[in-house]
Amino acid sequence: MYKRQPQDYSLVKLPNVIATPHIGASTYEAQEIVGLIISQQVFDCFKRGIIRNAVNAPSVRPELIPKIEPYVGLITKLGSFVVQLFDGRVEEFEIEYAGEVVEEGLYSTLTSSALAGVLKPILGNGVNEINAPYIAKQRGIRVIEKKSRDTEGFASLIKIVLRSKDKEASVCGTLIRKNDPRIVMVNGFPVEAEPRGYILYFKNYDRPGVIGRIGTLLGEANINIAGMRLGRFKPGEEAVALLNVDQPVPDELLKKIEELPNIIEVKMLNLD
């Protein structure tokens, strides 16, 4: 049986010793500072997508936060864009980083944000940067992360590819002026567009009148075109277009566009 030893406070009684409880930081001032730190970290996580000091997610060094924040916004939009472009069940997610995003060591914290961007349109707002990798694993999605030297002439380039057994969709993006996100390639077609709001995507054979007919249909439906970007390889062959519109295009109008001559496919994307 344990016998309690006599208490000896001789060390504490020394004039050059200051003793504190085990929770010595539990003062009013310390708790106020801790509350401020926690509040800032919660704000960074939900509003900026930056996770710090997490036990189950990659942490970001404070000095890297200003550099990584624009990439989080870009990569989340790229994930949301490509999954809405993709038909079928996602079986493989591949992300490739090139340029400054690799050289500065920023990429290691971004993949979970890209996965969240892919999964949110499917599963809703319950997906976040912390649980996205685990949800992807549960759904049997194979995650591949690559680094490359091929930046296609940009300072940094990020490419996301989604695959199933017989389908594939891809998107590439970069930052212009360090903090302005751009889509620069869709399914291999070069095209520069802002990843924001509502985007009408269509693929067509490059023939005269396609853009005019679609513009007429949108105008008759009182849907304003805020921006338009086109991409093709050679005249007369396949081409793609991204139209930023001020409101979503209704399903019945999408059907009319799909039935136009020379249209291959059309989709309404929401990046809000």
Q: Is 47 helix (H, G, I), strand (E, B) or coil?
A: helix
Pick the CATH number of 59-185 from 3.30.1330.90, 3.40.190.10, 3.30.530.20, 3.90.440.10: 3.30.1330.90
pTM of the entire predicted model:
0.79
* pLDDT score recorded for residue 67: 80
Higher-scoring residue by pLDDT: 174, 19: 174
- The distance of Cα 51 from the centroid of its chain, to the nearest Å, equals 14
pLDDT tens digits, one per residue of 43-69: 877 776 666 776 666 666 667 777 888
How many other C-beta atoms lie within 10 A of the C-beta of residue 232?
17
pLDDT tens digits, one per residue of 190-239: 999 999 999 999 999 999 999 999 999 999 999 999 999 999 999 999 99
CATH 3.30.70.260 occupies which residues in the chain? 196-272
CATH 3.30.1330.90 occupies which residues in the chain? 59-185
Cα separation, 209 vs 211, in Å, equals 6
Q: Which residues, including other chains, have CB under 8 Å from residue 27's CB and lie 6 or more apart?
A: none
* pLDDT score recorded for residue 60: 63
In CATH, what number does 196-272 get? 3.30.70.260
**Candidate from 66-80, 183-197, 249-263 with smallest mean pLDDT:** 66-80
